[in-house]
Amino acid sequence: MCTEDNLQNISLLNPTAAINRLGEWINAADRTNDIAKLDKVLAVKDLVIEMSKSKEEVMRLNYFLGNAYSLRHRIVALKSNIPSNWESDDIRLAIYYFRLVVNDSIQNKAPHYLKDQARINLSNALDRVGRCFESLPYLKQVKEESTEYYMALGVLGSHLHYMSKYMHFDSYRNIYAYYAHNYMSLALENESELEVGAADDFCSKCRELESLYDLTSILDTLANRRTEIKSTNINETKYRQWCRANVLFLCPLNDITQDIWIDHDCLKPKSLTCLVDEIPFLLELYNQIKSAYITARELVYKSLINSEEVCEWKNVSFIDTFLGSIHSKRVEMLKMAYVHLYSVLDKIAFFLNKYLDLSIDIKHVYFKNMWRERNNKGLRDRFINSHNWPLQGLYALSSDLFYDEESHIGLSLEQEARDIETIRHAIIHRYFEVVEYPKNLIESRPFNQPNLANGIIILSLDDFSNKVLNLLFKVRSCIQYLTLGIHREEKVKKCHDPKPLPHIVVI
């Protein structure tokens, strides 16, 4: 029974009972869309946080807090009729708490249900702010590690169903629709394993897809494509296998399959509407963005997979500092890739400044600050009034890459995305050391310890490699959000100006 008294007296309970009490209140608020009840839960969260001692207690509490903020975001959007509030702290905090659970469950043995449900809910939260490509890996992890967890299959299908509506080519849209229907159908075969109401939702979406698409014809097309062989070169084949396995091709189909027929970088805008004299500039800039990413990707592959040193490096003599530092072509290629990827983000900002007529002074066009007005730090009107889901995803992703305490960006920071700007600056201008031994030994060094304030960064090779791979996937996601965002803008332009005489459309 969720009464005022049994929440106010929560300090009298043991930690497990207190956490369960919060869960009961959150479930009750969910049934009635009662935001006041949620606010009462959040008002006592700090008290319960102090009470929670064991790892499992902390994970369960963080999971419930993630649910509370996610639910609050949904109720506010429902009541305000603003489904795409780019500045919602609720959804950022939901992502933050779900990530805490996911990260802790990796380091500590967590109950399977908690680990799986946190990943599903984190995926939902990311998808809600437009970060659809980054939401899918969490669902795939649950699908691959927990074969009995059918809810993940259904949610994966539901995400693909929504993403299909934003695909800018019919072939992409058809294949997304097919996989969406397939996953939700598999989930419906085990309806008893689904959450309350999920089966009806999945069933409704399946019927919609059946009415809009010839799914049998799409399946036949897929079967024919799977017989294609792209390359007979062994080195190229290995490289393409690595790209597919790590979901690094600039092709939205790589996010749903690793079949050989998707191993190409086919992504490009379907159309682009702008002044005649601006078209070559914007198209060429898009090509440069794509080229820079592919170059960085190849550098990462050669560093991590094909790591043989050339003769010149074998004969180089370095001063032995007894620090375990690594000086090699392999490490230098990783550094080059990292800096190259960072530059792609600023090129995306430069593109959007021109394409969306943001009128930002060219001296101040950076991915980090392009979203907000320079003086008052508020989000630009161009984005506040936008219902462009992919562009919202691009903005939300910036909160992982750049921390801004004043604007509260960075609440949802993830471990591998931290300090991107500081690392890039250290590689180019300061002290950046890569060592052979792990992080715990770096921190125990009696001298030259990492000091961000003094421009000193020391990372193990494994840590740095993970950061580069993480940044590579994020930059790929950025390019895909940019491309789908352009498509969305073009559709809006055509609705408002069906015959733009002073413009030209390039297809």
* Contacts with 143 (C-beta within 8 Å, 6 or more apart), sequence order: 149, 152, 153, 156
pLDDT score at 278:
64
CA distance 194 to 151: 5
User: Within 10 Å of residue 3's Cβ, how many Cβ atoms?
Assistant: 9
Buried b (16+ CB within 10 A) or exposed e, 185-223: bbbbeeeeebeeebbeebbebbeebeeebebeebeeebe
Write phi, then psi, for 468 (nearest 5 degrees).
Answer: -65, -45
Exposed/middle/buried for residue 77 (C-beta within 10 Å: 0-12, 13-18, 19+): middle
The one-letter amino acid at 400:
D
The model's pLDDT over 185-224, given as tens digits with 9 standing for 90+, comes to 999 999 988 988 899 999 999 999 999 999 999 888 877 7
Report the range of poorest mean pLDDT among 19-28, 306-315, 458-467: 306-315
CA distance 274 to 283: 11
More confident residue, 142 or 261: 142
For residues 330 and 307, is the Cβ–Cβ distance under 8 A?
yes
* Contacts with 395 (C-beta within 8 Å, 6 or more apart), sequence order: 86, 130, 371, 383
pLDDT score at 415:
56
Q: What mean pLDDT comes out for the span 222-242?
A: 75
pLDDT at 230 over 60: no
pLDDT score at 151:
92
Secondary structure (3-state) at 314: helix
Q: What mean pLDDT comes out for the span 235-254?
A: 92
* Contacts with 168 (C-beta within 8 Å, 6 or more apart), sequence order: 269, 270, 483, 484, 487
pLDDT class of 252 with cuts at 50, 70, 90:
very high
CA distance 367 to 389: 18
pLDDT score at 385:
76
The secondary structure of 34-77 as a DSSP string is -HHHHHHHHHTHHHHHHH--SHHHHHHHHHHHHHHHHHHHHHHH
pLDDT score at 85:
82
The one-letter amino acid at 40:
K
pLDDT score at 80:
79
CA distance 462 to 451: 20
pLDDT at 274 over 70: no
The model's pLDDT over 468-491, given as tens digits with 9 standing for 90+, comes to 999 999 999 999 999 999 999 888
Closest residue by Cα to residue 471 from 402, 404, 385: 402
CA distance 39 to 75: 12
pLDDT score at 414:
64
User: Within 10 Å of residue 74's Cβ, how many Cβ atoms?
Assistant: 19
pLDDT score at 265:
92
The model's pLDDT over 93-112, given as tens digits with 9 standing for 90+, comes to 999 999 999 988 887 777 88
pLDDT score at 391:
95
pLDDT at 498 over 80: no
pLDDT score at 408:
45
The model's pLDDT over 38-58, given as tens digits with 9 standing for 90+, comes to 998 899 888 888 888 888 899
The model's pLDDT over 370-420, given as tens digits with 9 standing for 90+, comes to 998 877 678 888 888 788 999 999 999 988 887 655 544 445 556 566 678
Q: What mean pLDDT comes out for the span 225-249?
A: 81
Please work out, in degrees rounded to the nearest 5, the angle formed at the alpha carbon of residue 373 by the alpha carbons of 367 and 378. Answer: 105
The model's pLDDT over 61-72, given as tens digits with 9 standing for 90+, comes to 999 999 999 999
Q: What mean pLDDT comes out for the span 413-442?
A: 76
Q: What mean pLDDT comes out for the span 265-272?
A: 86
pLDDT score at 138:
95
pLDDT score at 259:
85
pLDDT score at 502:
40
pLDDT score at 373:
85
pLDDT at 497 over 70: no
What dihedral angle (degrees, nearest 10) is formed by the CA atoms of 178, 184, 185, 187? Answer: 150
For residues 271 and 506, is the Cβ–Cβ distance under 8 A?
yes
Report the range of poorest mean pLDDT among 364-373, 391-400, 433-442, 445-454: 445-454
Secondary structure (3-state) at 155: helix
pLDDT at 253 over 90: yes
The secondary structure of 187-255 as a DSSP string is HHTTGGGSPTTHHHHHHHHHHHHHHH--HHHHHHHHHHHTT------HHHHHHHHHHHHTT-SS-GGGG
Instruction: Look over the chain and give the mean of its residue pLDDT values, rounded to a whole number.
Output: 84
* Contacts with 19 (C-beta within 8 Å, 6 or more apart), sequence order: 48, 52, 57, 60, 61, 64
Percent helix, percent strand, percent coil in the chain, to nearest 5: 65, 5, 30
